[in-house]
């Protein structure tokens, strides 16, 4: 019994120590001064009735972005195969001048973007590093879902060409639209389809540090990436003296070393190491070695890349980041890199200024609804409706009385006079 109590006391002491260390870390991060209990009552930071001024999570829609600040949010950090915890590649860059840019829009990432409670009119610019589904598989969801979520602006897409027209971005987007021919036709006259326009800018994948976007003080450049087939590129975004670099997918290469060098935040793929591709992904050893080290960048290769890039913060993504994989991946990175590092998971948030880079997790409202359009929401034009054949029209059971009642009640609620169809 005595032993037990001693153990308990020890456990409590260790817990208290851990709590103290954790609080110390929190206070250091939050840049607060430790206050005594008497002072605490007077501190606006620790009032019993007002909200905390400093929070260690990012709650979308509750924080202004400073005019000189860049906020980067991981909206997809996983693998080419889908899983609930991590969507595939997608990073949102928000700038203090009001501009927002999406880099890659991999499978599942549209859900994450929606969780950020941003009007979809602002989510109208997408830069695609390459045409693997895990890097652009949710473009259709952003295209159509964005319209349903009140985007009234065209969707603008930038992406590379390749060695054949059919390997290029324009072809992919054209055929995505063709795939959704029935979808788009079905919406005509039922919702406002202004936002269904797509503007594609296809650029040369061999362009070295070429400017592909320059507006409002923001320059986005591309340079070649080496991944799976000719065509992939990496990007940098420069604004207000801050530099964001995003690899999409690539084998280590000379262009990244030169043009991502010294970035404030450098986001580079860090694929699962071969041993985990065998044990967790259940791949044969030759494929794990080939894909892990020749198609992609393995963690120790990522470390070498970052030692040469020397960013203010290195961010690794593109692996299933779990309690048992993260320590293994980090140990491998640390054999070749000892600088600042974050291993991204979905909803990791980076606030970047010249003085500081703050890394937190976002806390998302899963019951989120779309925000209104930033311009007056226009109704559909019924004259555009494609309509049904006589075959289907004659199959309708029309509950006219019930429908009339719905129209009457809705008109009364909103002060409108929309006539019920007969």
Binding site for Zn ion (CB under 5 A): 132, 134, 249
d(CA 224, CA 190): 43
DSSP category for residue 293: I
d(CA 166, CA 172): 7
DSSP category for residue 191: B
Query: Least Å distance between CB 211 and Zn ion?
Result: 24
The bridge status of strand 357-362 relative to strand 348-352 is antiparallel
Nearest to Zn ion of 136, 213 (CB atom): 136
Nearest to Zn ion of 106, 303 (CB atom): 106
Q: Which helix (H) or strand (E) holds 187?
A: helix 181-187
Nearest by Cα to 247 from 274, 222, 220, 219: 222
Query: Least Å distance between CB 134 and Zn ion?
Result: 5
Nearest to Zn ion of 193, 250 (CB atom): 250
Query: Least Å distance between CB 232 and Zn ion?
Result: 7
Contact 132, 80 (CB under 8 A): yes
Query: Least Å distance between CB 364 and Zn ion?
Result: 24
Nearest by Cα to 133 from 87, 102, 91, 179: 87
Nearest to Zn ion of 125, 135 (CB atom): 135
Query: Least Å distance between CB 350 and Zn ion?
Result: 20
Query: Least Å distance between CB 162 and Zn ion?
Result: 13
Nearest to Zn ion of 134, 202 (CB atom): 134
d(CA 151, CA 163): 34
Structure-token pair, residue 246:
């995003």
Select the residue whose beta carbon is closest to Zn ion and give its number. 132
Nearest to Zn ion of 249, 346 (CB atom): 249
Structure-token pair, residue 351:
């606030």
């Amino acid at each position: 019994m005595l032993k037990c109590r001693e153990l308990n006391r020890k456990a409590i002491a260790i817990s208290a120590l851990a709590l103290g260390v954790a609080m110390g870390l929190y206070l250091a991060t939050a840049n607060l001064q430790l206050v005594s209990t008497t002072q605490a009552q007077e501190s606006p930071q620790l009032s019993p009735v007002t909200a905390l001024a400093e929070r260690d999570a990012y709650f979308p829609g509750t924080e202004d972005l400073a005019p000189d600040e860049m906020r980067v949010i991981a909206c997809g950090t996983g693998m080419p195969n889908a899983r609930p915890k991590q969507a595939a590649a997608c990073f949102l860059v928000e700038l203090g001048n009001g501009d927002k840019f999406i880099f890659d829009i991999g499978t599942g990432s549209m859900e994450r973007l929606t969780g950020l409670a941003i009007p979809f009119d602002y989510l109208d610019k997408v830069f695609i590093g390459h045409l693997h589904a895990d890097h652009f598989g949710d473009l259709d969801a952003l295209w159509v879902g964005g319209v349903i979520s009140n985007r009234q602006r065209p969707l603008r897409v930038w992406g590379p060409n390749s060695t054949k027209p059919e390997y290029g971005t324009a072809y992919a987007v054209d055929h995505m639209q063709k795939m959704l021919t029935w979808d788009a036709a079905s919406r005509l006259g039922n919702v406002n389809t202004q936002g269904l326009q797509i503007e594609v800018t296809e650029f040369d994948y061999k362009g070295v540090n070429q400017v592909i976007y320059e507006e409002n003080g923001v320059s986005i450049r591309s340079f070649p990436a080496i991944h799976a087939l000719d065509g992939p590129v990496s990007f940098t975004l420069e604004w207000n003296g801050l530099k964001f670099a995003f690899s999409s997918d690539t084998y280590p290469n000379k262009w990244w070393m030169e043009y991502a060098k010294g970035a404030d935040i450098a986001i580079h793929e860090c694929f699962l190491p071969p041993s985990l591709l065998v044990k967790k992904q259940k791949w044969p050893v030759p494929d794990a070695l080939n894909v892990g080290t020749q198609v992609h960048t393995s963690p120790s290769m990522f470390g070498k890349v970052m030692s040469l890039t020397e960013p203010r913060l290195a961010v690794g993504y593109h692996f299933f980041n779990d309690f048992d994989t993260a320590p293994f991946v980090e140990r491998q990175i640390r054999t070749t890199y000892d600088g600042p590092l974050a291993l991204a998971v979905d909803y990791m948030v980076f606030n970047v200024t010249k003085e500081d880079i703050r890394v937190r997790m976002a806390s998302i409202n899963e019951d989120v609804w779309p925000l209104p359009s930033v311009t007056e929401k226009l109704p559909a034009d019924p004259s555009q409706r494609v309509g049904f054949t006589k075959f289907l029209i004659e199959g309708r059971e029309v509950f006219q009385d019930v429908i009339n009642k719905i129209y009457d009640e809705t008109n009364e609620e909103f002060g409108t006079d929309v006539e019920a169809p007969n």
